Amino acid sequence: MKPVRILTTVLLAFAACAAHAAELRVLTHSSFSLPKARLAAFEQQSGVKLSLIKGGDAGEMLNKLILTRANPIADVVYGVDNTLLAKASAAGVIAPYSGAALKHKARYALGEGVVSTDYGYVTLNYDKAWFAKNKLALPASLQDLTKPEYAKLLVVQNPSTSSPGYAFMLATIAGMGEAQAFDWWAKLRGNGVKVAKGWSEAYYTDFSRNGGERPLVVSYATSPAAEVFYSKDKISTAPTGNLFLKGGVFRQVEGVALVKGGKEGEAAAKFVEFMRSPEVQAELQTTMWMYPVVEGSTTAPVFAHAAEPGFAAEMAPATIAAKGGAWLKRWNKVVLR
């Protein structure tokens, strides 16, 4: 074949791939997951084709949306949480929503046009076997973690590159106050805290449950339940446990919103309602490992292992947006530099 002909063939093949029919573009973070059948049912009922676009970690995803606001890459966005809410709102990427989804009674609301769909808690997890084997008492407070007997036992995520890491940093600031929190972080550094890039790195290379050497990890309150769900032999007790310490628990509320300048407005609104439907609220528990926000939702049986903490750090989204950047810089200086 002559080069010209090869070139034409290649270009035609690409052009064919690029052509697409009218569809609803949904931007999500990389953890978004719902059963295929559920998504197919939505397509059938709403008459639009869903085009799911994964934009990376939640923070990264929002930045991609902000960067392209003049020419939005999606019509709906899922995964904006209370740590990102004010930033999204200030950047003007969210369109107001006032439809049927708001009729459901929700445990936690987000506002600013974002309809809450689910929530979770960023908290410490511990490796039960490790603490039993080493006959060490569990730390009773965050202050305990700065003591010599807990030296080099904790791995956290870098708040600059990980949303649970960011939420955990915010929890310590909300719990102790800014000055004391950074004091605590400095002591923690002296006590050998390990910083991993993201959740996967921390959980699968540093956490003692998976071959690392640290029995304490920043994770989610649902992680022990997921350990049971994804265990090989159907175990009845979780190998890991939640450690709810004051100042070490952050409630993360996630939601779905219309994108300003997005197309397919009617279908987009339907998708917002879909995310609050009883089916999705029930299924998201074991596909995304979050708690359903709509009151009266069916609870997955395995969530018996995911008891909610009685308390969590509260922080206004506006405060997070105003000070988050400076806190990150300070954290970086105190813990890494």
Partner 1 sequence: MTIAVVSPGAYSRRALALLPLGFLFLLALLPLGRLLLEGWDGVRLELFADDYLQGRLLWSLAQAAITCVLTAVIGVPLAWVLARLAFPGRALLLRLMLLPFVMPTLVAGLGVLTLFGPRGISGLNLQDTPWLLLYGNLFYNLPLVVRASVDGLLALPASRLLAARSLGASPWRAFWRIELPALMPWLSSSLCLVFLYCFSGFGLALLLGGQQWATIEVEIYTLVAYELNLADAGALALAAMLVSATAALFYAALEARMAVPAKTEPLALLKVNTLRRRVLLASALLVLLSITGAPLLALLARAATVEAQTWRLLLNEDTALALFNTLRFSLMALLLASLLGVLHALAARRSTLMRAAAFLPFVVSPVCVAFGLLLLYPGWTASLLLLVSAYALLAYPFIAKSLAAALDALPPNLPAAARTLGATPWRSFWRVSWPWLRPAFRRGLAFAAATTVGEFAVTLFLSRPEWLTLTTLIYQHLGRPGQANLDAALLLSVLLMLFALLAFAAIEWPEKNHAPDR
Q: Which of residues 238-257 bind partner 1 (CB under 8 A)?
A: 240
Tell me the CA distances in angstroms from 305 to 93, 206, 237, one per residue in order: 37, 23, 8
Site for partner 1 contains 25 (CB under 8 A):
yes
Closest to partner 1 by CB, 60 or 178: 60
Determine the Cα angle at 271 with ends 251 and 35, to 5°: 75
Site for partner 1 contains 56 (CB under 8 A):
yes
Select from 197, 246, 260, 263 the one that contacts partner 1 (CB under 8 A).
Answer: 197
Query: Quick check: 122 and 171 in contact, CB under 8 A?
Result: yes
Q: Hey, what are 231's tokens?
A: 């265990």
Site for partner 1 contains 134 (CB under 8 A):
no
Contacting residues for 273 by C-beta, under 8 A, at least 6 apart: 99, 100, 101
Cβ count within 10 A of residue 64: 16
Site for partner 1 contains 144 (CB under 8 A):
no
The whole-angstrom separation of Cα 98 and Cα 153 is 47
Site for partner 1 contains 236 (CB under 8 A):
no
Q: Which of residues 295-334 bind partner 1 (CB under 8 A)?
A: 325, 328
Site for partner 1 contains 3 (CB under 8 A):
yes
The whole-angstrom separation of Cα 274 and Cα 105 is 15
Site for partner 1 contains 132 (CB under 8 A):
no
Closest to partner 1 by CB, 294 or 300: 300
Site for partner 1 contains 230 (CB under 8 A):
yes
User: Each residue of 236-270: b (16+ CB within 10 Å) or e?
Assistant: eebebbbbbbebbbbbbbbbbbbbeebebeebbbb
The whole-angstrom separation of Cα 198 and Cα 217 is 11
Select from 12, 13, 129, 318 the one that contacts partner 1 (CB under 8 A).
Answer: 13
In the chain the beta strands, taken as DSSP E runs, fall at 23-28, 49-54, 76-81, 94-95, 115-127, 154-157, 194-196, 216-220, 240-243, 250-259, 291-292
Site for partner 1 contains 199 (CB under 8 A):
yes
Cβ count within 10 A of residue 127: 22
Site for partner 1 contains 72 (CB under 8 A):
yes
Select from 99, 205, 263, 308 the one that contacts partner 1 (CB under 8 A).
Answer: 205
Site for partner 1 contains 67 (CB under 8 A):
yes
Beta strand 216-220 with 154-157 is: parallel
Closest to partner 1 by CB, 143 or 161: 161
Give the binding range for partner 1 (CB under 8 A) out of 95-103, 115-123, 138-146, 226-234: 226-234
Closest to partner 1 by CB, 107 or 330: 330
Closest to partner 1 by CB, 33 or 277: 33
The whole-angstrom separation of Cα 243 and Cα 324 is 25
What minimum distance in Å lies between the beta carbon of 37 and partner 1? Answer: 12
Select from 40, 129, 133, 213 the one that contacts partner 1 (CB under 8 A).
Answer: 213
Query: Quick check: 248 and 171 in contact, CB under 8 A?
Result: yes
- How many chain residues touch partner 1 (CB under 8 A)? 62
Q: Hey, what are 8's tokens?
A: 């034409």
Contacting residues for 292 by C-beta, under 8 A, at least 6 apart: 118, 281, 282, 284, 285, 299
Site for partner 1 contains 66 (CB under 8 A):
yes
What minimum distance in Å lies between the beta carbon of 276 and partner 1? Answer: 21
Binding site for partner 1 (CB under 8 A): 2-3, 6-7, 10, 13-15, 17-18, 25, 30-31, 51-57, 59-60, 63-64, 66-68, 70-73, 158, 160-161, 194-197, 199-201, 203-205, 210-213, 219, 223, 226-227, 229-232, 240, 289, 325, 328, 336-337
